[in-house]
Amino acid sequence: MVYTREEMEKIARVVERHEGLFIISDEIYEHITFTGEHVSMASFDAIYDRVITVNGVSKGYAMTGWRVGYIGAPLWIAKACNKLQGQFTSGVCTIAQRAALAAIRSKSGDRDRMRHAFLRRRDLICSLMSEVPGLKLRVPQGAFYIMPEVTNYLGKKAGEIEIKTSDDLALYLLDKAHVATVGGTAFGAPECLRISYAAADDHIKEAASRIKAALAEIR
């Protein structure tokens, strides 16, 4: 889900009241939003100097694997992070740094075209998965995942396989349908299953068909 500016402002007001409270704001999906606008937590002046913004190029610029990330933070925090990082990681290679800089500065429109592609895929997978009996689906407002509620399938069996948790269901789909999903427990939503739609349309259609067939065997 994507928070509105009003919701973000309410969070900022809470932080403002507590002088020793800092926010680490992961904004890696800022360029992949379909509803409203991306609102950075650091855009609120009252808490500007208490926000550490974490970002990178893997999602918004399709540079997964280049391992380029960065932060925006008060100088004293940035220096402390730099001191720590220098002791336990190696630096990002110059080629990756230059590529990331070119991506961020680019005016080619590729980022918007990618966002529109993700929007099309979102609508496609939501349409397909809404046809699966027993799934409860909320249409995502950003990123490239859906997290349908799967409680209808928990506590049931597919043959001799018992599905107790969403993690069990993810393993079942991997074994039975050969589709990789992730249980929602790690994301604070144990009743859900996380499915990425960062894939070609044909692959999305095939995966949805396999998931539907495999879930039909759970009783």
In the chain, residues under CATH classification 3.40.640.10 are 5-105
Q: Please tell me the pTM assigned to this model.
A: 0.81
Which amino acid makes up residue 33? Answer: T
- Residue 181 has a CB neighbour count (10 Å cut-off) of 24
* Residue showing tokens 């001799």: 160
CATH superfamily of 111-215: Aspartate Aminotransferase, domain 1 (3.90.1150.10)
In the chain, residues under CATH classification 3.90.1150.10 are 111-215
- Give the pLDDT score at 102: 94
Say if CB 169 and CB 193 are below 8 A apart: yes
Helices H / strands E in the chain, number of each:
6, 8
Q: Which residues of 195-212 are buried (b: 16+ CB within 10 A; e: fewer)?
A: bbbbeeeeebeebbeebb
Which amino acid makes up residue 3? Answer: Y
- Give the pLDDT score at 78: 95
Say if CB 67 and CB 38 are below 8 A apart: no
pLDDT in tens, 40-99: 999 999 999 999 999 999 999 999 889 899 999 999 999 999 888 877 776 788 899 999
pLDDT in tens, 5-15: 999 999 999 99
Please list the residues that pair with 33 across neighbouring strands: 142
